[in-house]
Structure 1
Amino acid sequence: MTRIALATTRDLAEIDAEDALLLAALPESELVAWEDDHDWASFDLVVIRSTWNYIDRLDEFLAWADHVASVTRIVNPPSIVRWNTDKRYLGQLAEKGVPVVPSVFVAPGERADDAHVAGKVVVKPTVGNGSNGAKLIDSDPEAARAHVAFLHSTGRTALIQPYLDRVDDEGEKSLIHLGGEFSHAATKAAILSQEMSFSAGLYADEELSPATATDQERAVARAVLEAAAQVLPEAADLAYARVDLLPSDDGPVLLELELTEPSLFMPFAPGSPERVAEAFRKLASSPRL
């Protein structure tokens, strides 16, 4: 009998709603905390799902992914996870011609140029998720530098981006792909310009709604995935991907490419739990190379 592990974390207070949907659509699966000691080789497939505490234990998490990959199939694979868990990949995608929110990376010991902290900016860690450590700062260079310094004090590299105000009215569009093919989309309301709450503890609460991706958004998402495969050949064969786009005066631009543990926004697209389940079922039953 096929066995599929949906990797989660024991730090979640309750089961994630998407994990519950996937368990129902994929009865051969079970939730397993990545931190716990398991016989990972007993699974035909391990799917990284709600492992959202990895940002505080990155080295341990990457070592776990390497170990699992040595005994069975894990998606997405460790090389993808290692690349994607540090947002400096945005710079590589921009070099490939992808429209990316302008991004400046400031490592510990470095100082941001005055132009980078002027105006309305977002300062966040390059290793982070769920808006953890992200701060919106409006025309206060000293406050921006202070947050950069705080991130540096914790050993983290800072990412500085201009805040694109159109997100407040139009939201952030997420395009979900399964096996390289577009599946569905959802819109996320602006988070940083609102008072954030963390009811689940590991990520900021989000206001989500169903969405239809435009032809232009789908084209940009396709360009993002193609550029990722140019940077990292393994990215040409992704089990799942979420391309997060922001609206700008010049069209949609990439905010993040989520290849590690993205929510797939299944509650907002009829039939998507079954599509996701079938994609994982096929992977679990296919020969491991």
Structure 2
Amino acid sequence: MTFPNLSDEIENNDIMKAFKYILILAVISLVFACSKDDDNNDQQDLEQFISNICPTISGPTAIYWDGSHSLPTSLAQIPTIANPGLQFIHPQYPALGFTMPQGYTAQEITDQQTGTIGVNVFRTDNNVVWRYIPSSPFQGQVQIADIVNFEINQIKTFHGVTEQGVIVCAEDAVSNEFGFPTSFSSRLIRFGNFTAQLIVQMHFMPSLGNTFITVTLASGPTAEFDNLVMETYLPLHWQLLVISDDVRDSDLDGTPDNQDAAPFNSNIQ
């Protein structure tokens, strides 16, 4: 999977300034709003959760959907990688780094011409994908629908599915964030035996005359999707946030340091 080259080269200084700013916005958008009313929420609470904006979905899938829209969920603990595997650090931007579950590999996304930086994460059977592009610059204004359609068609092709599929949930919004136009579009789709959640954010900066796009996509077998949310997608997202004792896992044993009896010994949790 690669991101298309749809923009001409932009001045390097302007790209880096804009990239750092958009990256901050992208990371902020990954903060999942969790309910703190009851710290004793268990698996049953997660399974019974129903989306506030898409009532046809429930459980971890609904938590992932609502959290991606900065809405409160029943998630009481930060998900961590239970079976740490390989680590990925983007060579051009080390802040884009995380530990993957065992059985996953990462593909670096770097486009020197456009300034696009990101990563594709694949399960070894190629049935599970997590794709994150914190910022990709495009010349001029771009229609967000074009990016949404491209990403959906690309993931369907990757999974070898030709049928149109069904849109289960969809949200679209436009705002004037921090003084420049911002668009948001999300889709939860089912096609063949797969489910995919796509989040696209678009920021147009008139001073540069360019659009900066953020893409987060997660796909996998529908029968596994709830488990993938808790075991793969959410733990990957949280690692991109500012690290605190609630999420830091120094010995990579799947237990946050503040809950670990021996935070630097992977044999003791």
Q: Could you say which TM-score interval applies, normalised by the shorter chain?
A: under 0.3
Q: Which has the higher contact order (CA 8 A, sep 6+)?
A: 1
Q: TM-score, normalised by structure 2?
A: 0.25
Bigger helix share: 1
Q: TM-score, normalised by structure 1?
A: 0.24
Bigger strand share: 2
